[in-house]
């Protein structure tokens, strides 16, 4: 075998001895890798190498971030949230409009600026997708739609609900969202253009440009849905409906409105 592989006998015996008696460095690497994989399993394979490196340090391992990354890569570990190797998102042909809102979130009147976003909540049957339309003048959730599929139809349903409720003048209204494909779809664009609504979009990868809509979902999850755990989709939809239609506008005080609820502010305006 040594002759065929062009390996010296002495080299072969040194390699065999190393396999029988691993060096102290190799033992440390094996112990570290065993801990990393065990910790990753405990956390449902969610964390990446950076967070696992912090876990290892907290556990008393003396290791570097690059070392942890290399060990996990050699072991074939990938975070659940990591993209597939070689993945490149295809460039979309859908239009991207400028950021006309430009983080001017203080709006004096209702039906002047609407902001919108979509989020998802895990349920027992899968995801529940939620689209909301928020009026920056009153901070009221004027439109909301939910469903098991994340599509442009969800946005249109939320817009229709908001339009029926508020009856705005389209030429005076600015509608702001992120660059999600749902908002750039032909269906949503046509719906807004037919009503002469001005469209604005956040800059790519900049969640702060749509911070008010993002904040609504952060509050929904932190204050309401997260304590419920993973429940059925219909039950979760009922809880979301109660929060957006009853608790948020009638009970929850909003500091941006001077410490009163959105419905109270709208009534006094």
Distances in Å between the Cα of 124 and the Cα atoms of 127, 147, 233 are: 8, 14, 7
**Using CB atoms within 10 A of its CB, is residue 34 exposed (0-12), middle (13-18) or buried (19+)?**
exposed
Question: What contacts 175, CB < 8 A, 6 or more positions away?
Answer: 113, 114, 115, 116, 192, 197, 198, 199, 200
Give the pairing type, strands 140-147 and 174-177.
unpaired
For residue 259, is pLDDT > 90? no
Q: Which segment, 39-48, 134-143, 205-214, is predicted with the most confidence on average?
A: 134-143
Average pLDDT value for residue range 91-111: 82
CB atoms within 10 A of CB 206: 13
Token pair listed for 142: 């004027």
Residue ranges and CATH numbers for the domains of the chain are: 2-74 (no CATH), 113-268 (3.30.420.10)
Where residue 133 falls among pLDDT bands split at 50, 70, 90?
Answer: very high
Q: What is the reported pLDDT for 237?
A: 93
Q: What are the phi and psi torsion angles at 113 (to 5°)? A: -135, 125
Q: What is the reported pLDDT for 87?
A: 53
Q: What is the reported pLDDT for 140?
A: 92
For residue 14, is pLDDT > 70? yes
Average pLDDT value for residue range 37-46: 87
């Amino acid at each position: 075998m040594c002759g065929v592989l062009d390996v010296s006998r002495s080299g072969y015996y040194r390699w065999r001895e190393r396999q029988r008696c691993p060096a102290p460095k190799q033992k440390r690497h094996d112990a570290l890798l065993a801990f990393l994989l065990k910790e990753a399993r405990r956390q449902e394979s969610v964390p990446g190498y950076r967070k696992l490196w912090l876990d290892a340090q907290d556990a008393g391992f003396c290791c570097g971030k690059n070392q942890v990354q290399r060990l996990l890569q050699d072991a074939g570990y990938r975070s659940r949230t990591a993209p597939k190797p070689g993945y490149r998102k295809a460039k979309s042909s859908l239009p991207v409009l400028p950021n006309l809102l430009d983080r001017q979130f203080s709006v004096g009147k209702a039906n002047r600026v609407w902001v919108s976003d979509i989020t998802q909540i895990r349920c027992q049957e899968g995801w529940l997708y939620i689209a909301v339309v928020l009026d920056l003048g009153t901070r009221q959730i004027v439109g909301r739609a939910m469903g098991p599929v994340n599509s442009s139809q969800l946005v249109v349903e939320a817009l229709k609900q908001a339009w029926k409720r508020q009856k705005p003048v389209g030429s005076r209204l600015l509608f702001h969202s992120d660059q999600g494909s749902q908002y750039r779809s032909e269906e949503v664009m046509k719906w807004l253009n037919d009503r002469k609504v001005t469209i604005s979009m956040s800059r790519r990868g900049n969640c702060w440009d749509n911070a008010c809509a993002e904040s609504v979902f952060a509050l929904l999850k932190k204050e309401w849905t997260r304590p419920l755990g993973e429940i059925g989709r219909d039950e979760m939809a009922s809880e979301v409906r109660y929060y957006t239609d009853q608790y948020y506008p009638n009970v929850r005080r909003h500091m941006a409105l001077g410490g009163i609820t959105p419905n109270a502010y709208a009534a006094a305006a």
